[in-house]
């Protein structure tokens, strides 16, 4: 990176944060953690601490990537007061400090800004969240616009997936279930645009390097039904081992949910790709990589 100042990663112990911090290293970034310890990180509780307690020299930081918060819609809905304090009030205080210090905020928003009625959302589609979590994200988007003007970036990030066996993302969770259970219940009407975690990191770095401003959809190159992603995974597994899994199609609303969930939250990444030149990884590649890691590693153990 050309920038000599450091990047502040707020929420560095989360899934994306850890990958971003690993990519940058301690020489180029300051990363925070709260409950999950992060080696090389700095402890920060946004509910009880001031940002000035960990940022002693604001002039040494150019951008702050805001990843912290409660990212689980079910948890947010279960305790609205608690999640509002974390996802809205504490983030607003952080934004106040960042703008005062002239540090550009890069806020990770969500596909849940939309009600899911249409799908293939672009940046100029009006937000219409039906989940509390989405409403919290929209509140911060609006606050950023009011406080930081055009000196900020909002990245609406779609569902993030990885290719590591223990990363607890979509494919690894399904892979872990194979051999332990024989039935997988899967929403057949839910549509989203999953994105590879390394593409998320690259997208964040590109908007920093190119001094981008405004709103972008950081999303995968293609929309999928959740059910089709499961079938894709099982097809990849079948190249290595017999698959004895029964898929039970259902509605996303059939699961135990506190709120009705949007059905089609697919987004279009064209603007970000055009502006930054970001190359996105297709899901078949991610799927094949994690399956190969599982089964080729298993073969090596017995040879």
The string of pLDDT tens digits covering residues 177-231 is 987 888 999 999 999 999 999 999 999 999 999 999 999 999 999 999 999 999 9
pTM of the predicted model as reported, rounded to 2 decimal places: 0.95
| Of residues 164, 141, 162, the one with CA closest to residue 153 | 141
Tell me the C-alpha distance between 129 and 117, whole Å.
11
What is the Cα–Cα distance from 241 to 218, expressed in whole angstroms? 34
User: Is the residue at 297 inside a domain?
Assistant: no
- For residues 27 and 10, what is the distance between their CA atoms, to the nearest angstrom? 16
Domain total of the chain: 1
Q: Is the residue at 88 inside a domain? A: yes
Exposed / middle / buried, residue 62 (Cβ in 10 Å: 0-12, 13-18, 19+): middle
Domain that holds residue 24: 6-160+194-221+266-281
pLDDT tens digits for 138-183?
A: 999 999 999 999 999 999 999 999 999 999 999 999 999 987 888 9
Find out whether 179 and 237 touch, Cβ atoms under 8 Å. no
Look up the CATH number of the domain holding residue 22.
Answer: 3.40.50.720
150 domain-assigned: yes
pLDDT surpasses 90 at 3: no
């Amino acid at each position: 990176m050309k920038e000599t100042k450091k990047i502040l990663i707020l929420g560095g112990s989360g899934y994306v944060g850890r990958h971003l911090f690993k990519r940058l290293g301690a020489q180029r970034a300051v990363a925070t953690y709260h409950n999950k310890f992060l080696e090389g990180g700095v402890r920060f509780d946004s509910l009880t601490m001031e940002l000035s307690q960990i940022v002693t020299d604001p002039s040494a930081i150019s951008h702050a990537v805001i990843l912290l918060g409660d990212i689980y819609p079910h948890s947010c809905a279960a305790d609205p007061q608690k999640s509002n304090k974390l996802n809205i009030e504490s983030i607003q205080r952080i934004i106040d400090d960042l703008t005062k210090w002239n540090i550009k905020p890069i806020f990770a928003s969500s596909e849940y800004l939309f009600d899911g009625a249409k799908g293939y959302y672009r940046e100029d589609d009006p937000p219409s969240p039906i989940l509390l979590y989405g409403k919290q994200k929209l509140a911060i988007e609006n606050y950023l616009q009011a406080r930081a003007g055009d000196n900020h970036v909002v990245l609406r990030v779609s569902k993030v997936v990885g290719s590591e066996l223990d990363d607890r993302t979509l494919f690894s969770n399904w892979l872990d279930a194979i051999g332990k259970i024989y039935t997988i219940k899967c929403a057949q009407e839910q549509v989203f645009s999953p994105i590879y975690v390394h593409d998320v990191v690259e997208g964040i770095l590109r908007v920093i390097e190119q001094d981008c401003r405004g709103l972008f959809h950081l999303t995968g190159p293609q929309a999928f039904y959740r059910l089709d992603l499961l079938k894709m995974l099982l097809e990849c597994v079948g190249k290595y081992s017999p698959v004895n899994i029964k898929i039970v199609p259902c509605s996303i609303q059939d699961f135990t949910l506190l709120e009705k969930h949007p059905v089609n939250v697919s987004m279009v990444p064209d603007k970000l790709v055009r502006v930054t030149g970001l190359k996105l990884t297709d899901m078949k590649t991610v799927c094949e990589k994690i399956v190969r890691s599982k089964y080729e590693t298993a073969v090596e153990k017995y040879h």
